Amino acid sequence: MKRIITISREFGAAGGTIGYALAQKLGYEYYDKELIFKAARASNIDPESVMRWDERVSVNFGFAQSLFDFYNKPLSEKLYAVQEKVIREIGEKGNCVIVGRNANTILKEYENSLHVFIHANPYWRMDHMKEKMTDDTEAKIS
């Protein structure tokens, strides 16, 4: 039986760490940021542009922009469409843990899927990010 676990998370709540550990424990494939780069390669989109777009949504992203400017979609919408295709392909294979990338919504109709949201106390998240970003000051993180 093919199973899918998606993890949505608050920034700094260790969703990636938890997802990776879970995938290791279950012997599942783990997917996170590499999904967006795989989508970019499939679309021949410049990786630097992808880095700037990652985790942001364009002001024009959404229904109205798609309806009125279908042929000149912004990078974010083009990349999202390809990323969605990649996530569906991964979901079809099953036995995977996917962190972020709106996978919970994209794969919501798949059977044998579990969608988890990880959150944490804001102070814990701040401390966790300080540990991960040892070269950054507290002012940069706040």
Separation between Cα atoms, residue 47 and residue 26, nearest integer Å: 31
Which H or E run contains 31? strand 29-31
Query: What pLDDT is recorded for position 132?
Result: 82
How many domains are contained in the chain? 1
User: Full-prediction pTM beyond 0.85?
Assistant: no
CATH number of domain containing 29: 3.40.50.300
**pLDDT score for 50:** 64
What range defines the domain where residue 110 resides? 4-141
Residues of the chain with pLDDT under 50: 57-72, 141-142
Supply the DSSP symbol for 62: S
**The pLDDT of residue 138:** 53
Amino acid identity, position 112: N
pLDDT of residue 59: 44
